[in-house]
Amino acid sequence: MEWKASHILVKDRALAQDLMRKAKQGADFASLAREFSTCPSKSSGGDLGWFGPGKMVAPFESACKSLGAGSISDVVQTQFGYHVIKVTGRRD
């Protein structure tokens, strides 16, 4: 299984929750990532491309496994901060 995902990474849980709500209510995910994310992927709207098992930290990968394509996660905490993840593709 591989996933294609975009994310928004921030240091503040409250900001992550606010961004998650906006994204789930239909705000443009890529625009939110460009404006708020602290990850270098923000320049591409948060797009991380395709990745397989073991390529991302466990909480991030676990969230991707539980989401269908087009779905947006709840806030996911890792050692890097707080993520809002949008799975944009899945393939076996």
With beta carbons less than 8 A apart as the criterion, state whether 36 and 53 touch.
no
33-87 pLDDT per residue, tens:
999 999 999 999 999 999 999 999 999 999 999 999 999 999 999 999 999 999 9
Task: Give the pLDDT confidence of 51-66 residue by residue, as tens digits.
Answer: 999 999 999 999 999 9
Question: Domains plus CATH for the chain?
Answer: 2-91 (3.10.50.40)
CA dihedral for 50, 52, 33, 22, sign (positive or negative):
positive
Chain centroid to Cα 88, Å, comes to 10
